[in-house]
């Protein structure tokens, strides 16, 4: 392969950029406007969720979007600040015990840099499969718990009081302590804002549709609730000087684009943020690709998971050098981008340009924006993330999944995001190992008159005193070898006339080294007491591996292609004793 191809592999813009035309530009521009309208207030609000100054949200969006547009493979993924990552950023920074805003901003850069490097490394080493260790129910429980924590963290702005905390107990205690300072005016503004945003999405949406407006225009207007709220509440604050009546304003947001910022590379800071960065990157990656994959499939496009890691990694490193904080692909924003017709990653570049214009020219207006308006925007945005159905569904379907869901949900709420997600991942892995360590096994017999073998406990089947036929419904590997050994020895103890043990391997997809050694050991132990071990119906790929070993050479019995053939062969030897 030439060098040119490998560059375009890591810079997909070189591929789609070649065919870029005016039609695509119009589509992308339209989508960019709609996404930018949605993103500006969200970005400001999410920076506050992360415990950072509002402008960090704008910077993270500009550089997250534009760098991903160069390296990402999804045409529609909208990269920038997202709620769950902002919460995780707040949790990671919260542990550091920093007080000044400047220190927090610096630590956020390091965090974004570390997670960017981690994602990039995973991508370059093609280790995207790491994300697989997060099970769906665990992610869903984690996102639900995170949404609750984010909602609670915004309550202070909605009520005009101040609170803090990394888990539900701390947040509720902190809120309860300042309940007597509630600013009713602030609360009123907040509830009004929430009502307007919801109405834009529902009432206004159907009204405009009835009026016959085009669906893109309807989407665009109905998604502009947050902007309308921002303008309206800002205007109210300015005209009536509501800040003098207890409403907290966003205050000064510096104008212009960020200068080049260099993350703090002190060893202590890196050590303290290391695991946070890893958890945060994996969550960000999983959230990004799950939406990117779904949207791509809808248009029969494909995304490259390893290149996505590279794209997201580069976006985070970019954010870390430009005053941002950790970013990933946002679910709802990407869906809006898709629905609005984004044709290529250029839509992201255009969105970034629009946000840059806001950062350059419109920040003076942001001074009057009340924090409660941003809190309302966040509350409406995280509400759809609440999904307790995983608890109910998993209870009915699988107790192991239920346990993993409960552990994730409750530990995230009660202890914090990092312990919560780490415990969830660990629990699901351990429970998977537990389940496969005790596989479903059937002692089988032949359905009379056929060549079919079925579980002797479920069916009326013929068995033979000198033969023990066992079907194992699981791959054989280290976690269940002891089970297999125990099983055979205990079944054997119940059959005094036993001469042959036949393992039917139709459902055995793999045999690892431990299982191979266990089979050899079982074979030896059985042959010492005069019992032969046979295998039947071993799959092709496993046969390929086993023939390279000494198993078949040492096997006291044979390896049969068909279980029925094995039984026919082996019961015959017995016939002269019992039959004649």
Residues 111-170 that bind a copy of itself (CB under 8 A): 129, 131-138
> Does 99 participate in binding a copy of itself (rule CB under 8 A)?
no
Distance CA 311, CA 317 (A): 10
For the purposes of burial, counting CB atoms within 10 Å of the CB of 516, is it exposed (0-12), middle (13-18) or buried (19 or more)?
middle
Q: Which one of the spans 45-53, 258-266, 370-378, 476-484 is the region binding a copy of itself (CB under 8 A)?
A: 476-484
Whether the CB-CB separation of 315 and 116 falls below 8 Å is answered with yes
Q: Single out the segment in contact with a copy of itself by CB under 8 A; choices: 107-115, 191-199, 354-362, 542-550.
A: 542-550
Rg (CA), the chain: 31
Restricted to residues 239-268, the positions that interact with a copy of itself (CB under 8 A) are none
Residues 355-414 that bind a copy of itself (CB under 8 A): 390, 393-394, 396-398, 400-401
Residue 297 CB neighbour total at 10 angstroms: 11
Residues 494-523 that bind a copy of itself (CB under 8 A): 506-507, 509-510, 512-514, 516-518, 521
Q: Is 304 exposed, middle or buried (0-12, 13-18, 19+ CB in 10 A)?
A: middle
Which of 12, 311, 416, 439 lies at the binding interface for a copy of itself (CB under 8 A)?
439
- Minimum CB distance to a copy of itself smaller for 263 or for 329: 329
For 341, residues 6+ apart whose C-beta sits below 8 A from its C-beta are: 27, 30, 31, 216
CB of 287 to a copy of itself, least distance (A): 13
Residue 450 engages a copy of itself in binding (rule: CB under 8 A): no
577 CB burial (10 A radius; 0-12, 13-18, 19+): exposed
By rule CB under 8 A, what string of x and - marks binding of each residue 304-333 to a copy of itself? -x----------------------------
Binding of residue 490 to a copy of itself (CB under 8 A): yes
Residue selected from 19, 21, 268, 528 as contacting a copy of itself according to rule CB under 8 A: 528
Q: Smaller CB distance to a copy of itself: residue 241 or 399?
A: 399
Segment near a copy of itself (CB under 8 A), from 9-17, 238-246, 296-304, 318-326?
A: 296-304
201 interacts with a copy of itself by CB under 8 A: no
Beta-strand relationship, 467-472 and 441-446 = antiparallel
As given in the structure block, the two tokens for residue 465 are 């005193």
Smaller CB separation from a copy of itself, 128 or 416: 128
Least Å from the CB of residue 424 to a copy of itself: 11
Is the Cβ of residue 169 or residue 513 nearer to a copy of itself in the bound state? 513
Tell how many helices (H) and how many strands (E) occur in the chain. Answer: 26, 8
State both tokens at 181: 């300072």
| Residue count, binding to a copy of itself (CB under 8 A) | 74
> Tokens 């017999």, residue?
445
Q: Does 429 bind a copy of itself (CB under 8 A)?
A: yes
Least separation in angstroms between CB 154 and a copy of itself: 29
For 451-465, give one letter per residue: b (16+ CB within 10 A) or e: eebbebeeeebeebe
């Amino acid at each position: 392969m030439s060098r040119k191809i490998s560059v375009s592999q890591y810079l997909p813009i070189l591929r789609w950029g070649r065919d870029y035309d005016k039609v695509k530009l119009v589509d992308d521009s339209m989508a960019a406007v709609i996404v930018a309208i949605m993103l500006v207030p969200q970005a400001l609000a999410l920076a506050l969720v992360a415990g950072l100054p509002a402008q960090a949200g704008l910077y993270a969006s500009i550089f997250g979007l534009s760098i991903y547009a160069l390296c990402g493979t999804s045409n529609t993924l909208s990269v920038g600040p997202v709620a769950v990552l902002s919460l995780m950023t707040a949790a990671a920074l919260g542990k550091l015990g920093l007080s000044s805003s400047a220190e927090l901003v610096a630590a956020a850069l390091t965090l974004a840099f570390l997670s960017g490097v981690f994602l990039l490394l995973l991508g370059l080493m093609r280790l995207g499969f790491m994300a697989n260790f997060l099970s769906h129910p665990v992610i869903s429980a984690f996102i639900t718990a995170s949404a609750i924590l984010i909602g609670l963290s915004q309550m202070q702005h909605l009520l005009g009081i101040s609170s803090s905390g990394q888990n539900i107990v701390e947040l509720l205690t902190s809120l309860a302590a300042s309940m007597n300072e509630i600013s009713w005016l602030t609360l009123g503004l907040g509830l009004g804002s929430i009502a307007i945003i919801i109405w834009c999405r529902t009432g206004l949406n159907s009204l405009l549709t009835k009026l016959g407006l085009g669906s893109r225009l309807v989407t665009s207007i109905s998604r502009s609730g947050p902007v309308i709220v921002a303008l309206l509440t800002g205007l109210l604050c300015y005209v009536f000087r509501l800040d003098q009546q207890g409403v907290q304003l966003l205050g000064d947001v510096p104008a212009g684009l960020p200068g080049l910022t260099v993350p703090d590379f002190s060893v202590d800071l890196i050590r303290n943020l290391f695991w946070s960065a890893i958890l945060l990157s994996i969550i960000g990656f999983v959230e990004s690709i799950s939406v990117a994959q779904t949207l791509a499939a809808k248009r029969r496009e494909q995304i490259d998971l390893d290149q996505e890691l590279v794209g997201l990694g580069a976006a985070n490193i970019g954010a870390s050098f430009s005053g941002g904080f950790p970013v990933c692909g946002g679910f709802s924003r990407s869906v809006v981008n898709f629905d609005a017709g984004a044709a290529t990653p250029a839509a992201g570049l255009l969105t970034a340009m629009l946000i840059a214009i806001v950062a350059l020219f419109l920040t003076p207006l942001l001074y009057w924006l009340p924090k409660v308006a941003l809190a309302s925007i966040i509350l409406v945005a995280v509400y759809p993330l609440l999904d307790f159905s995983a608890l109910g569904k998993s209870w009915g379907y699988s107790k192991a999944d239920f346990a993993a869901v409960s552990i994730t949900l409750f530990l995230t709420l009660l202890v914090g995001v990092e312990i919560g997600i780490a415990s969830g991942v660990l629990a699901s892995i351990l429970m998977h190992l537990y389940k496969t360590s005790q596989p479903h096994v059937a002692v089988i017999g032949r359905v009379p008159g056929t060549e079919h073998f079925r579980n002797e406990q479920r069916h009326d089947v013929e068995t033979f005193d000198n033969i023990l036929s066992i079907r194992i419904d699981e791959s054989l590997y280290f976690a269940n070898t002891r089970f297999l050994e125990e099983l055979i020895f205990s079944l054997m103890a119940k059959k005094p006339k036993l001469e042959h043990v036949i393992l039917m391997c139709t459902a055995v997809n793999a045999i690892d080294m431990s299982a191979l050694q266990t089979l050899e050991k079982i074979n030896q132990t059985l042959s010492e007491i005069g019992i032969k071990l046979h295998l039947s119906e071993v799959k092709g790929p496993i046969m390929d591996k086993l023939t390279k070993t000494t198993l078949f050479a040492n096997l006291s019995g044979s390896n049969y292609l068909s279980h029925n053939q094995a039984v026919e062969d082996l019961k015959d030897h017995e016939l002269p004793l019992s039959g004649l």
